[in-house]
Amino acid sequence: GQNIDQPTEMTATEGAIVQINCTYQTSGFNGLFWYQQHAGEAPTFLSYNVLDGLEEKGRFSSFLSRSKGYSYLLLKELQMKDSASYLCAVTDSNYQLIWGAGTKLIIKP
């Protein structure tokens, strides 16, 4: 079966750094996405990785290791508005997106 694992919930402090991990087991791999979803809202795109390594975009970075089936999303200089769920999704060999259940990130002052 296909499976994506993320921690259910994480807590961090405003101004700090947090790393959200995602491990996956899918039939094939054609890229990994991270989406942000604020409570009661729709998911919005954050990042995409298809090759190994780190992709940096402002305060957010995403890392991929295809051999380990592993990715992480790194959020720096945390702000209260970063309180949200972060969804990991993998494109499988059929180009279907398989979604993790999401990690709820709570930011404390």
Partner 1 sequence: DAGITQSPRYKITETGRQVTLMCHQTWSHSYMFWYRQDLGHGLRLIYYSAAADITDKGEVPDGYVVSRSKTENFPLTLESATRSQTSVYFCASSVRGLEGETQYFGPGTRLLVL
Q: Report CA dihedral (27, 33, 36, 40) to the nearest 10 degrees.
A: -40
Query: Is 31 one of the binding residues for partner 1 (CB under 8 A)?
Result: yes
Single out the residue of 16, 17, 54, 101 in contact with partner 1 (rule: CB under 8 A).
101
Which span (12-20, 30-38, 52-60, 68-76) binds partner 1, by CB under 8 A? 30-38
Q: Report CA dihedral (61, 88, 50, 46) to the nearest 10 degrees.
A: -50
Tokens of 64: 């991929």
Q: Report the interface residues with partner 1, using CB under 8 A.
A: 4, 30-31, 33, 41-45, 48, 50, 87, 89, 91, 95-102
